Amino acid sequence: MLRRCLCTLLLLLALPVQAFQSFVVGDIRVQGLQRISLGTTLNYLPVRVGETLTPEKASAAVRALFKTGFFEDVKLRREGNVLVIQVVERPSIAKVEFFGNEDLETTDLKNALKQVGLVEGRVFNRSILEQVKQELQRQYFSLGKYSVKIESTITPLPRNRVSVALDIDEGPAAQIRQIEIIGNRAFSDVRLLGEFSLSTPTVFSFIDSSGRFNRQEFLGDLEKLRSFYLDRGYLHFSVDSTQVAISPDKRDIYLTINVSEGNLYHVGKVDLAGEMVVPEAELRARLLVQDGEVFSRRRIVESTTRIAERLAVDGYAFANINAVPKVDEERRIIDLTFFVDPGHRVYVRRINVTGNVKTRDEVIRREIRQMEGGWLSTPLVDRSKIRLQRLGFFDSVNVETPPVPGTNDQVDLNLDVTEGSTGSFSAGLGYGQTQGLLFNLNVTFNNFLGTGNRVSAEMDNSQVNTVYRFSHTNPYFTDDGVSRTYSLHYRATDANAANLAAYTTDTYGAGINFGVPLSEYNRASFGLDFENTRISTSVGVSPDTYTDWLAQNGDSFDTVQFSSSWSYDTRNRAIFADRGVYNLLSASVAVPGMDLEYYKLAYRLKFYQPLFWGWVGYLGGSLASGDGYGDTTSLPFWENYFAGGVSSVRGFRANTLGPREAAIDRPIGGSAKVVMNAEVYFPLPFEGSSNSTRLSTFVDAGNVFARFDDIRASDLRVSAGVSVVWLSPVGALTFSWGWPIKAEDDDEKELFQFTIGTGF
């Protein structure tokens, strides 16, 4: 009886309708509207003029208006046959501000508020604000900030508006003081915790935020722990429970993980079954799981992937490979049967290219190795993507293979490219103490008018150099991919103005070169270049080695150089490669019968290998040598090699390593050069920076030697440091900080070095 009375009382208190008898509504009048239009209000009202308003309909009308969220209060009353609705509108949000947030960006917070309707111009709802505060608190908890405090301030403004301010006191992040694993016997805590992303604080915590608790990372670490055991034969491993304990001051966190390892299992017999559209021997050769070895889930997954990749070569792109285990609990043996279901062979109906605004369609299609009408081959699709990336024309290349509607054996190959800068421009006008008034201009189009041709023009006018150079490269001079390059150049150089050993050269020439693809990864090139060179020296200023060479060989020369090279290139992209190898072996010889007879040989290596966490290892180096033959006594000194600087051995001034003329104390170069580079590239902690910025630590070694026989490892100069390459909107910028760690007293050192180019 008491419960019934209380329910009746609550119902009466909740009814915001004046008691009245039913009547026919002759008119409806709404009072209290400010921003909400009359039409909008009447549209939500479930009562119309001419209808009979009953107490039940009145209650329904109140509920309907409250449900809109526009009103804080709604009352109904009767004036004759007129229904009067008295409303109090909720205020609108004029402004939303955040204060004190550092770990969560204001832009991200405002975008999140838009999803729940707490945004400028919308109706203010206090219940939504409370939900937002709870969600923000949950977000900060996930970042390990358990002492966060969020206060909201609602400030009334004219015209029924409010300003919402959220003052966030994030507080310090809780630090992980201990991670304890209970129940492990086969592996130590140190070994297991080495697999975790979370850790206790280190000396680098102020940089990498180590020691901070993150729930998502913790869940990820538990999965890593399961994978660790399953990959080492512990089939029944389980995480029984986890405890996250927080100290009373909410600054310290203690993690406890209870595990059950179970027994160690080995692989019994490994079989293949199903439809063998590829010779079974080939599929079996791709299995990484062998009889008798410790069971490993990772090796099973890799084996199924390798079999699927082999089937994809022959067009079975959607093959289904299932590894079915048969467990013998008594012997702790697991027999494995890999069931092969190749499915239908899939063919490519059409290849679609999108996103190319500047680049012609044929320039892209000639790089695609997958053919229309042929069966879909995953390696050919992947290779097509890599070839497009290596062009250097595109910031990104995305590939999709959607099925053709109504078929089960056809797909379309969709290539979507995002074009980037395909040229460079640099110009300068200035005055220097050593170079005087200078002007330089360099324009390079790597994708001239979208044709894929490379056109370059250079003009440089200073006290050091006067250069005019033009070159044109057509990478598809023939449909088979034979390239053709022709060039014209004129160069006058005053080496003394560049702080090198004193001499001047005046050279003009022309050349033509052809490149021939030998295979998908191998390429050869052949070329002829004619040059006319005039050399002059200054008595008492030029080094004796230069004047003696000119006395023996003359000072004006016509030469024809025959050059050839072989390259092997498996890099996945031209800019910021992260896997693959590049080998280049080149040779040039001044043909007999001309004024000079000499040769030059060079080898270049670049090797990229992914490491872990997005890090990439790089090993590179070059070895070069030259000499005269026939009537030419030695390699012409203006063809000498130099080293040092941002592109060779960093930390040493450009072109200063190697032999020097004692009398004038200036570098004169040498006929042999050795340079070795080792770098580790690691990603910056900024989203989207991997495509535009590369940070690395490096160790360089190298030197220039008078002759090839003089090369000694003990004479190499060594440096170490850090480098940054940024593909900025105005071009590629390279900065390096190098510290010589093996140098001689007379070496010219340079801590900071940079190069700047401008892209368009």
Local confidence band at 10 (pLDDT 50, 70, 90 cut-offs): very low
Tell whether the model's pLDDT for residue 547 goes beyond 80.
Answer: yes
- In eight-state DSSP terms, residue 688 is T
Ranking 314-328, 454-468, 501-515 by mean pLDDT, the lowest is 454-468
- In whole angstroms, give the CA distance from residue 550 to residue 533: 12
Region 20-37: mean pLDDT is: 84
Same domain for 524 and 407, yes or no, is: no
Strand locations in 614-687 (E): 616-628, 660-661, 666-667, 672-682
Look at residue 661 in the predicted model and tell me its pLDDT. 81
Q: What average pLDDT does range 98-106 have in this prediction?
A: 82
Q: Which domain holds residue 668?
A: 446-756
Helices 126-142 and 106-116, packing angle to 10 deg: 140
Residues 593 and 466 in one domain: yes
Provide the pLDDT for residue 680.
Answer: 95
Q: How far is CA 504 from the centre of its chain?
A: 46
Higher-confidence residue: 616 or 430?
616
Measured distance CA(647)–CA(735) in Å, rounded: 11
Residue 412: its pLDDT value, please? 94
Q: In the listed set 298, 319, 341, which residue is the last one of a domain according to the structure?
A: 341
Q: Are residues 499 and 574 in the same domain?
A: yes
Tell me the C-alpha distance between 254 and 247, whole Å. 8
Q: Is residue 686 part of a domain?
A: yes
Question: DSSP labels for 194-258?
Answer: TT-S--S--TTHHHH-TTB--HHHHHHHHHHHHHHHHTTTBTT-EEEEEEEEE-TTS-EEEEEEE
At residue 729, the pLDDT reads: 62
**Whether 299 and 330 share a structural domain:** yes
Helix H or strand E segment including 126: helix 126-142
* Band of residue 587 on the pLDDT scale cut at 50, 70, 90: very high
Of 169, 191, 208, the last residue of a domain is: 169
Q: Residue 35 in contact with residue 92, Cβ under 8 Å?
A: yes
Does residue 235 share a domain with residue 181? yes
What single-letter amino acid sits at 288? L
β-pairing, 333-341 vs 266-274, is parallel
pLDDT at 15 over 80: no
Residue 426 reports pLDDT greater than 70? no
Tally of structural domains, the chain: 6
Domain assignment present for 374: yes
Mean pLDDT of 408-432: 73
Please give the Cα distance from 44 to 570 (Å, whole number). 67
* CA 277 vs CA 338, 410, 688: distances in Å: 14, 19, 42
The answer on 311 and 365 residing in a single domain is no
**Side chain identity, residue 2:** L
Between CA 573 and CA 397 the distance in angstroms is 11
Res 428: pLDDT: 47
In this structure, the answer to whether residues 547 and 461 fall within a common structural domain is: yes
Q: pLDDT at residue 693 above 90?
A: no
Q: How far apart are CA 331 and CA 640, in angstroms?
A: 72
Mean pLDDT computed over every residue of the chain: 86
Summarised one tens digit per residue, pLDDT across range 172-216 is: 878 889 999 999 999 999 999 989 988 888 766 656 667 788 888
Name the residue with higher pLDDT: 210 or 314.
314
**Distance separating alpha carbons of residues 17 and 318, to the nearest angstrom:** 66
Per-residue pLDDT at 165: 87
Q: What angle do CA 617, 312, 613 make, to 5 degrees?
A: 25
pLDDT of residue 689: 52
What share of the chain in percent tops pLDDT 90?
47
Residues 594 and 506 in one domain: yes
| Residue 580 · residue 570 · CB < 8 Å | yes
What's the pLDDT score for residue 201? 83
Q: Model confidence over 501-510: pLDDT tens digits?
A: 678 889 999 9
- What pLDDT was estimated at residue 540? 66
Contact between 403 and 411 (Cβ < 8 Å):
yes
Residue matched to tokens 């805590």: 189
- The predicted model gives 579-594 an average pLDDT of 94
Q: What is the token pair recorded at 632?
A: 């030419």
| pLDDT confidence of residue 603 | 97
Q: Is the pLDDT of residue 57 over 50?
A: yes
Mean pLDDT of 59-79: 87
What was the pLDDT predicted at 5?
Answer: 41
CA distance 422 to 419: 8
Query: Which segment of 262-266, 509-513, 691-695, 728-732 scores lowest on mean pLDDT?
Result: 728-732
Work out the average pLDDT over 487-508: 80
Distances, alpha carbon 221 to alpha carbons 205, 216, 217, 570, in Å? 19, 9, 6, 35
Segment 213-260, tens digit of pLDDT:
888 889 999 999 999 999 999 999 999 999 988 888 888 899 999 999
Question: Lowest mean pLDDT: which of 155-169, 295-309, 493-507, 531-545?
Answer: 493-507
The CATH number given to whatever domain includes residue 208 is 3.10.20.310
Q: For residue 9, what pLDDT is reported?
A: 38
Q: How confident is the model at residue 50 (pLDDT cuts 50, 70, 90)?
A: confident
pLDDT at 1 over 70: no
pLDDT of residue 8: 37
Residues 575 and 621 placed together within one structural domain of the fold: yes
Q: Is the pLDDT of residue 157 over 60?
A: yes
> Do the domain assignments include residue 371?
yes
Tell whether 1 is covered by a domain: no
In a domain, 279, yes or no: yes
pLDDT at 643: 92
Q: Which of 352-366, 442-456, 723-737 has the lowest mean pLDDT?
A: 723-737
pLDDT exceeds cutoff 50 at 707: yes
Residues 233, 262: Cα–Cα separation, whole Å: 10
Please give the pLDDT value at position 427: 52
Mean pLDDT of 602-611: 95
Cα distance between residue 295 and residue 408, in whole Å: 36
| pLDDT at res. 537 | 83
CB-based contacts of 439, cutoff 8 Å, min separation 6:
428, 429, 459, 460, 461, 462
Cα separation, 324 vs 336, whole angstroms: 6
- Whole-angstrom distance, CA of residue 75 vs CA of residue 491: 92
Q: What is the mean pLDDT of residues 286-310?
A: 93
The reported pLDDT for the residue numbered 717 is: 96
Structural domain includes residue 82: yes
Give the CATH number, domain containing residue 681.
Answer: 2.40.160.50
pLDDT at 36: 81
Lowest-confidence segment of 540-544, 637-641, 673-677 by average pLDDT: 540-544
Domain boundary among 37, 55, 89: 89
For range 622-640, the mean pLDDT = 92
Q: Which of 92-101, 374-383, 565-574, 617-626 has the lowest mean pLDDT?
A: 92-101
Instruction: For residues 456 and 535, state if they share a domain.
Output: yes
Does 561 share its domain with 696?
Answer: yes
pLDDT of 758 above 50? no
Q: Is the Cβ–Cβ distance between 30 and 65 less than 8 Å?
A: no
Q: Is residue 574 part of a domain?
A: yes
Task: Evaluate whether residue 432 is within a structural domain.
Answer: no
Query: Same structural domain for residues 98 and 85?
Result: no
Overall average pLDDT of the 54-73 stretch: 87
| Residue 620: both structure tokens together | 């590179």
